[in-house]
Amino acid sequence: MFRPRIIPVLLLKNNSLVKSQKFKNYCYIGDPINAVKIFNDFNADELVFMDITATNEKRTIPLELVKKIGEEANMPFAVGGGINSINVIKDILHAGAEKVVINSYATVNPQFVKEASEVYGSSTITICIDVKKNYFGKYKCYVASNKQYTKYLPIDFAKLMEEKGAGEIIIQSVDNDGTMTGYNVELIKSIAENVTIPVVALGGAGCINDLQNIYRNTYVTGLAAGSMFVFKGKNKGVLINYPEKNEINLFNKSI
């Protein structure tokens, strides 16, 4: 039986959890280590932590925080934020993370992805591709920390990252981020149909039906979300949560 991984994506700012909407209007959620403890109790498949200010501040995600997460987490976890050297990857993996997530630097130096995958293996290297429509309604890769579009079209960049040795791609719709109105199926499907490495959907999930919809209509192997796992109810009260076992079982299927 096969089912997709269900992955909470947690944003870090000044070592605290925050959540955004369309990469703006960040609000405080709580303590990351406390969230890890709760997700342990829920038996979450995997966690992703992204330090959203690391690149702009010309630093990487704090290693001490990665170590604390590693000491507490019962599940695999990946971290991203300012990753731009082989030594940084080494330090993060030694601190306890299973994977690193590379975002902005992959657009600046795609060859770095090849170097990293050759040193640490493709399964260790995840690329997060942020995608946003430009003024002409065309999807473009977007570097959120610098608030600018890149020269890449999403499908072309996804193919390039696969060619360079990335083991997995996270596709995030900036326009859907934090809206809890559902994934951008069109975007994610277009990527998943054009690469052979695992693709994780991110951006817009608000309920279990959104996860089921993207899984039924695309070839993704991971279902990631932020708001869905930290908010509850119409008023978006802060409450760490995760799908019930009976809901997760709906995704099981034979392969």
pLDDT value of residue 149: 85
222-225 and 199-202 strand pairing = parallel
Query: What pLDDT digit, counting tens, does each position of 51-99 carry?
Result: 999 999 999 999 999 999 999 999 999 999 999 999 999 999 999 999 9
Q: In 3D, which of 67, 145, 66, 49 has the Cα closest to residue 106?
A: 145
Q: Phi, psi at residue 24, to the nearest 5°? A: -140, 175
> What average pLDDT does this structure show over 39-45?
97
Total number of domains constituting the chain:
1
pLDDT of residue 145: 64
Count of CB atoms situated within 10 Å of the CB of 216: 9
Nearest by Cα to 35 from 51, 55, 12: 12
The pLDDT of residue 65 is 97
The contacts of residue 154 (CB under 8 Å, 6+ apart) are 129, 131, 139, 140, 141, 171, 187, 190, 191
> Domain of 69: which CATH number?
3.20.20.70
- Burial of residue 212, with CB atoms counted within 10 A of its CB: 0-12 exposed, 13-18 middle, 19 or more buried: middle
Which pair of tokens denotes residue 151?
A: 């020269």
What percentage of the chain reaches a pLDDT higher than 90? 83
Q: How confident is the model at residue 254 (pLDDT cuts 50, 70, 90)?
A: very low
DSSP 250: G
Distance from C-alpha of 9 to C-alpha of 6, rounded to nearest angstrom: 10
State the pTM of this model.
0.95
Catalytic sites, residue numbers: 130
Return the closest-CA partner of residue 161 out of 212, 117, 219.
117
What is the pLDDT at residue 152?
Answer: 94
* Band (235; pLDDT cuts 50, 70, 90): confident
Phi, psi of 253 (to 5 degrees): -155, 155
Q: What is the pLDDT of residue 33?
A: 97
Distance CA(217)–CA(61), nearest Å, equals 34
Residue 249 has pLDDT above 90, yes or no: no
Rounded to an integer, the average pLDDT of 29-40 is 97
Q: What is the pLDDT of residue 91?
A: 97
How much is the pLDDT for 237? Answer: 87
Number of neighbouring beta carbons within 10 Å of residue 175: 17
**Is 38 a residue whose pLDDT tops 50?**
yes
The parent domain of residue 214 ranges over: 5-251
For 120-153, what is each residue's pLDDT tens digit?
999 999 999 999 998 888 999 998 765 788 899 9
Tokens found for residue 76: 């695999």
Q: How does pLDDT run across 149-169, given as a tens digit for each residue?
A: 889 999 999 999 999 999 999
> Whole-angstrom Cα distance, residue 68 to residue 73?
9
- Conformation bin of residue 33: beta by default, left when phi > 0, alpha when psi is -120 to 50: alpha
DSSP for residue 210: H
**Tens of pLDDT along 14-23?**
999 999 899 8
Q: Are 90 and 100 in contact (CB under 8 A)?
A: no
Q: The tokens of 218 are what?
A: 């695309």
Average pLDDT, stretch 29-34?
Answer: 96
